[in-house]
Structure 1
Amino acid sequence: MVANIAIEEIENFFGDKSKQFDDFYSNLCLRRATESNIEIIGEAMNRILKIDRNIAVTNSRKIVDARNYIIHEYYSLSVDILWSTVINHLPKPKDEVMALLDNE
């Protein structure tokens, strides 16, 4: 699924190193690539929720909201919002979406 690929890409952007805010903050390419993938993930989640609003994916609404914020409020996008999404809202949905796909 496209959302899982995008989550994996974000994880791969960091390589084998632990995720550190200072590294993220100082790397414009990393931030822009992350923004793009969050947009992709958010759009995929939005489409999933339109099919079934009761689907159990943790933080799905927050991921869609982050996507909308990136697209519509770009001028005021803070690195903190991106970082929070990467650290707090992406890890669990990846596993949950894979489990949903396995059950189909």
Structure 2
Amino acid sequence: MRSDLERLKDIQEAINRIEKYAVQGKQEFRANELIQSWILLQLQTIGEAARAMKPETHAQYPEVDWRDIIDFRNLLVHEYFRVDLEIVWQIVENQIPRLKTQIDNILSP
């Protein structure tokens, strides 16, 4: 069983993977189905890691919007036909940088 620390590192790694391709910009994201799929998979990974953490860990770091992360994961997994690529890109541009800072702060000594 993975620890919450390992799950936080999974989130950090997924963010790094998103950034690797998001740097190409919105136009490339919209045009390239492989990049779309890759980013969606990484967002799902983030949500899955957050969902699997203990409630105590969530309570310890209330600055992270765990509920929204988990809810978005549920949308990706169960209602994928409702996924709006505009919203996904907004998450990549606006939410991922903030989440990266939060996770980096949690993991830094």
CA contact (8 A) 1:62 1:89 kept: no
Q: Which runs of 5+ in 1 are unaligned?
A: none
Other-structure match for 2:77: 71
Which residue, out of 30, 39, 46, partners 2:44?
39
Q: What is the aligned length?
A: 100
Which one has a larger percent helix, Structure 1 or Structure 2? 2
User: How far apart are the structure 1 equivalents of 2:28 and 2:88?
Assistant: 13
TM-score (norm 2): 0.78
Identity among equivalent positions (%) equals 25
User: How far apart are the structure 2 equivalents of 1:87 and 1:71?
Assistant: 21
Other-structure match for 2:28: 23
1:11 equivalent in alignment to 2:11: no
Which residue, out of 84, 100, 105, partners 1:99?
105
TM-score (norm 1): 0.81
Deviation of the 1:60 alpha carbon: 2.9
Q: Which runs of 5+ in 2 are unaligned?
A: 1-8
Question: Which amino acid in structure 1 is aligned with residue 50 of structure 2?
Answer: M
